[in-house]
A = this chain, B = another copy of it.
Amino acid sequence: MYTIKEVADKMEVSEHTLRFWAKSGFFPYIKRNENNTRLFTEEDLEWVKIVKCLRNIGTENKAIKKYIDLCTIGDSTIAERFEIIKDTKKKALERMDELKKQLELLNWKENYYNSLIENKSIDRCNPINSDCQKVAT
C-alpha cells in the first residue's frame, strides 16, 4: 500500500496530478485509511500506468474516463475496449514515426552546430538557413 507521495515518486507523476486524476475518476477502486488518506495498491499502480500511457499518447481525459468506465462495467464492453486500444496503438505508432523524423532533424542540427564549434569556423549561413536546413530524408 502506497501513499500518494510514494506513488508520485515511483511512477513519476506529480502528487497534484495524481489527485487531479483521482478526482477525475481514473482510479475507480482506490481505498482510503481511517484518516481519509488515499492508499494505492499494486493494482491501483497499474491504473496509474495505463492512464499515464493513454495520456502520453494524447488521449484526452474525457476519453480516458470513458475507457475506465468501460473497464468497470465488465465483460460486455470488451469489444469497445479492444477498439480503443487499437486506436491508441495506431496513434502511438504515428507518434513514434514523427519522433523518429524529429530526431533526425535534431541529429542534423547537433552535427551542424558541433562542426561549427569544432572547426571554430564562423557561421556564414544566415540564421534561417543554418537552423532550418532540410534534413536529407
A→B interface (CB under 8 Å): 28-29, 43, 46-47, 49-50, 52-53, 56-57, 71-75, 78-79, 81-82, 85-86, 88-89, 92-93, 95-96, 98-100, 102-103, 105-107, 109-110, 113-114, 116-117, 122-123, 127-134
Contact B96 A127 (CB under 8 A): no
Say whether A113 contacts B99, CB under 8 Å.
Answer: no
What number of copies of this chain does the assembly contain?
2
Determine whether the beta carbon of A50 is less than 8 Å from that of B114. no
Assess whether A132 is in contact with B82, with CB atoms less than 8 Å apart: no
Known contacts A122-B75, A123-B74, A133-B46: does B103 contact A92 (CB below 8 Å)? yes
Chain B residue nearest to A96 (CB atoms) is: B99
